[in-house]
Amino acid sequence: GYVVLEIFYILTIGICLVLSRAMHLTRGQKAVLVGAAVMPNSAFIGIPLISALLGSEAGALYGAAGIMAYNILFFTYVQHLFDPEAKVSIKAFLYFSGSMENDFFKTDFTGEAYYVKQGDTWVSLLGPSITGNTTTPLALMIAGGMLARSDLKKLVTNPMVWLITALRCVVFPLGFLAALYFLPLDRTLCMAILILASCPAGSLTAVLAKQYDTEGELASQAVAHSTLSILISVPLVLSLGSTLLGI
């Protein structure tokens, strides 16, 4: 699953780079386009969806593969797009912080265990099962906060926001589905990959944009807009995927 996702992500990055060149986007706009359109919210929405539709074991297995594929590309190439001088962090492959501006909060690579720092040690904040149940509401809270700080008029009139949502929620998931239909892979694995591909833009794109002061408003709007859009796109894409993949 990890290898297939990584290949798909690299191909979609190529598509976004071609679009950014054709549209003459700035460096910041290109970074947001790649980060938001290519990188899905694998942890907060992907894992709960896989667990709900395919079972908790599938959620843990395929969700971890999805997060690994996300982290390796996000904390190398995507971070480089936002800041060409940023250093690659090996720790980022295993941990992604709730706030990228401090070292007082973190989760493990599955996104299901949270820790806070007390002195020089990390102390578990919530158990895995309790924390796992909060992931989807937390994602919606993050999107709601971003939406509240956004200009609602720009949210519905900005063509870049619509382009990112169209790519993230419709074009790329359907492209993944078309490829998976012809690949000789386990159908459950294919469905898990499709679920991850159907997720909205990951909120870390907005965090990174804010941290580097690079198109932060556009990134926040793209994350919020795509998260709201999955209320329509995910049922349609997954219904089509279930029919074609026989799941």
Tell me which amino acid residue 136 is: T
CA distance 153 to 6: 35
Residue 208 near residue 78 (C-beta atoms within 8 A): yes
Of 94-98, 125-129, 209-213, 220-224, which one has max mean pLDDT? 220-224
Sign for the CA dihedral angle at 45, 113, 116, 68 comes to negative
Q: What is the pLDDT of residues 110-122, one digit of tens each?
A: 444 455 555 566 5
Length of the chain: 247
- In a 13 Å sphere around the CA of 192, the CA atoms on its Cβ side amount to 28
CB 4 within 8 A of CB 193: yes
**Phi and psi for 126 in degrees, rounded to 5?**
-140, 150
Output DSSP code: residue 100. T
Give pLDDT tens digits for 169-178. 999 999 999 9
- Given the structure tokens 């609602």, which residue do they identify? 152
Decide if pLDDT at 101 tops 90: no
Residue of 198, 180, 228, 220 whose CA lies nearest to 35: 220
Q: Which two tokens stand for residue 80?
A: 């480089």
**In whole angstroms, what is the distance from residue 44 CA to residue 51 CA?**
12
**What tokens were used for 91?**
């720790």
> Does the pLDDT of residue 168 top 60, yes or no?
yes
pLDDT band at 135 (very low <50, low <70, confident <90, very high): low
Are 247 and 241 contacting, i.e. CB atoms less than 8 angstroms apart? yes
| Secondary structure (3-state) at 124 | strand
